[in-house]
Chains A and B, each alone.
Chain A
């Protein structure tokens, strides 16, 4: 196994405190990120999992200060990068952090690639900007970035427009752009979903290598528990805009405490044998502009009782760094 405990330094590289990002829509206030706190150590690989629509991508975009405007707004909290609050920086200062210190691989490759420029231009741009490379050198660096991500024939491929590439190639181009400036923190939002198992394994091995050699910290947002199991040190589970459980990876798989986490793990299809029917969680995820009272998971939770419906659950420590917000934790 590649996962190993990571020494938590005195100050984390990135610390997020009580982050709140809301969307002000005609339906009401959508609380996409509602009091999220976590920290990522230097050289740590942190996982973020949870229901589709629970606010993972908006959390990531908030860290980059790229929340969709004008509806979206970071309304509270702090994002400390090496002790400096990114939310207090001016836009031009923030621009220097993006790409160079914190990079993001966006979930939808087509939204971050410009259809009218070749992929070569798009990979070269940040390198030119932040590392002042020029001409032939610039082009060579762009080609080697593609080669690292196992794109065949990279020199020719630099001349392709995004639509001429397959889905997985586009996704790797976005990855190459994010890695090009050797950031300290990489946010990978569903960065390998369009890749087959062998290319994904090589991609993950590459990230692992950069992580080990350069101390890259990574935030993995993923639905794939295989990636969490293989790559991450710690993991947070989100539900309806909040982190509901946080633990080391081993703890989370061995002793999930929150009923939502337990249900989520039960829905993972097995690879090594056939099942007739997969478990899924009953009911629908809540609308983020009209959350139920009490615990947001209570309408779907098999353990919920009248207290759960009435009052928000507290954050309960399970063991060391393992906690969950729930009135009736599942005992492992």
Chain B
């Protein structure tokens, strides 16, 4: 894709302080949750982040959503630094970028009925009459497989998966141009998961939506994504187009990750690459390549210089000097 990116991150970092003691305490160290992340997303593209639990995917998403300022680095949306926006521009950004989170329960007000909750973002665009708003909510609920009549229910009256569909409906309300999807379908059964993924793809086709997808289920990621970045403890270690990544994973971590995915049927044997050693803490990073203590292909030099992302074939980047 050659169009100018809709979103771009440059050397994004987020360090959380580790403190000890009472309120004005001493900082004992830093959790390097995101540690120099660069990527861009094109219009109409689904770009995915995968990687070990705790490697900084959600933190990256939260920075992009302006929920968490970065420690350093920048996020540009259509060329503009999002942390420099204010007034109308900020309002426009907030309606063009929407999110669906991992844990639908935590993003819902338990005392609010589903209808007003889905309609909430519509209030930003004040042009809608109450009647229009109601029919738009009905349409959105139907799109995600719920009944318009359910607009009168409260969140606790739905199952986990049903709540996730409500979150998708709300995110789509304003016809945004970028949607951040953090584990959007992991709480859904496979049939509704297929429905929602197909729906997301259709909306992308119709409106040229871009998605930043975060998901652990690799078959889901393969089905949805155009490009994928693999993260390991705060950094991107490999980035490539989907089919390239699945058919020719280069980084030893990516290889291990793909090998550990469960085949969906019994009796299918896959050679799993077992990673030994402990998961490094984002506080005390190992010297050199941060993966080297667990890397099955580690070399003596891997504990010395820290590797940089380099292009191994067109559009395929790997952060390893030895593979």
Q: Chain A residues in contact with chain B, CB under 8 A?
A: 1, 3, 23, 25, 27, 49-54, 57, 68, 107-111, 150-153, 156, 164-169, 172, 190, 193-201, 223-227, 229-230, 249-250, 253, 263-264, 267-272, 274-275, 277-281, 284-285, 287
**From residue A60, how far is it (CB to closest CB) to chain B in Å?**
12
Cβ-defined contact, B16 with A223, below 8 A: no
Is B272 close to A, CB under 8 A? yes
Tally B residues with Cβ within 8 Å of A: 67
Instruction: List B contacts of A284 (CB < 8 A).
Output: 145-147
Of the candidates B50, B54, B157, B220, which one forms a contact with A269 in the assembled complex, judged by CB atoms under 8 Å apart?
Answer: B220
Cβ-defined contact, B266 with A250, below 8 A: yes
Is B218 close to A, CB under 8 A? yes
Q: Cα distance A195–B55 when bound, in Å?
A: 11
Q: Cα distance A230–B260 when bound, in Å?
A: 12
Q: Cα distance A156–B195 when bound, in Å?
A: 42
Is B162 close to A, CB under 8 A? yes
Q: Cα distance A50–B102 when bound, in Å?
A: 20
Instruction: List B contacts of A274 (CB < 8 A).
Output: 222-223, 242-243
Which residue of A is nearest B28, CB measured?
Answer: A156
Which residue of A is nearest B20, CB measured?
Answer: A159
**From residue A279, how far is it (CB to closest CB) to chain B in Å?**
7
Cβ-defined contact, A280 with B192, below 8 A: yes
Q: How many A-B residue pairs have CB under 8 A?
A: 191
Supplied contacts A225-B265, A271-B261, 7 more A-B pairs, CB within 8 Å: A193-B183, A200-B216, A225-B190, A229-B263, A267-B191, A271-B264, A274-B242
Interface residue ranges of B141-190 to A (CB < 8 Å): 145-147, 153, 156-162, 183, 186-190
Is B85 close to A, CB under 8 A? no
Cβ-defined contact, A278 with B106, below 8 A: no
Q: Cα distance A280–B194 when bound, in Å?
A: 6
Cβ-defined contact, A280 with B53, below 8 A: no
Among B102, B189, B217, max chain A CB count under 10 A is at B189
**From residue B280, how far is it (CB to closest CB) to chain A in Å?**
6
Q: Cα distance A193–B265 when bound, in Å?
A: 18
Instruction: List A contacts of B18 (CB < 8 A).
Output: 156
Instruction: List A contacts of B260 (CB < 8 A).
Output: 197-198, 200-201
Of the candidates B146, B186, B191, B256, which one forms a contact with A193 in the assembled complex, judged by CB atoms under 8 Å apart?
Answer: B186
Instruction: List A contacts of B103 (CB < 8 A).
Output: 108-110, 167
Cβ-defined contact, A197 with B189, below 8 A: no
**From residue B18, how far is it (CB to closest CB) to chain A in Å?**
7
Is B65 close to A, CB under 8 A? no
Of the candidates A54, A167, A225, A250, which one forms a contact with B264 in the assembled complex, judged by CB atoms under 8 Å apart?
Answer: A225
